Amino acid sequence: MQTQTAVRAAQMGGQVGLKEGLPVTDGRVDILKLWLRLYPGDMHADLRKLNDEGLSKRADFRQVSPTEFVRFWGLMIAGTVYAQRGRDLWENSNMLDGIRDQPQFQKYMAFHRFKITRSLIIYCKAETQQIGLDPWAWFRNGVDDFNRNRRDVLQQGVYQTMDESMSAYKPRKDKLGGLPNITYIHRKPKPLGTEMKTMCDCATGVMVYMEVQEGKNAMREKSMQPNMECLPRVCYEWRRMQVMKA
């Protein structure tokens, strides 16, 4: 979805959209290059961290290649549009919706390689030196990289709109399921999970900023102006990031 809206943004002209314009190959939009440009952070640095962790666990670990890494994310995204889940995406299943063919993910990546990559993917953005000190050390760099990427890559329009997103999660073993904080929002289709306050560019529909809701006490202390209400604080932090870049 972010890639589609970025294409639309770039086609709207120079005032909004990608600062460097659309990547084009043979007269067509190069979706892979566009995705890589929107990737939050340094993909090769993230891949090195993943492989270093894999080698530390097993001496015979076969490192994940850049091609596998990109395919892994492609399959993660593609899996959201199918009714099948888990191994059924790799095997022929009776769960057809009458519109799409069998997923046949095995054509792109073996299931066991996908599982190995998924088990290590959390290390891509982990700040290992902060684990035990910062409860969000596994994830904070990912949010920061996302916000910096959208600031640096996108020419944002005049108007932004606030929203909230929910990364649904259902704990299985304890109250928080290993997360530092979980939010419950009754009106959401899946009301339990990690809540994020977000900001989207009105001209393109692209999400340009997110802030994870870390819990009442943590958010009270987070901002430079801790008495701010949530939405003004997000606006303040987004604007501060723009000014810091300038």
Is residue 54 helix, strand or coil? helix
Kindly give, in sequence order, each residue whose CB lies less than 8 Å from that of residue 105, ignoring residues fewer than 6 positions away: 75, 78, 79, 89, 90, 111, 114
Separation between Cα atoms, residue 221 and residue 89, nearest integer Å: 44
- Express each pLDDT in 157-201 by its tens digit: 888 898 888 888 878 777 887 888 888 888 888 888 999 999 999
pTM of structure: 0.83
Strands 183-184 and 192-201: antiparallel
Task: Give me the mean pLDDT over the 30-52 stretch.
Answer: 95
Scanning the chain, the segments in alpha helix (DSSP H) are 2-10, 31-38, 43-57, 66-78, 111-120, 140-153, 216-222, 230-245
Which among 179, 204, 210 is positioned nearest to 192, based on CA atoms? 179
Average pLDDT over all residues of the chain:
85
The residues, any chain, with a CB within 8 Å of residue 96's CB and separated by 6 or more, are 83, 102
15's CB contacts (< 8 A; 6+ apart) are 155, 157, 203
Structural tokens at position 82: 């199918």
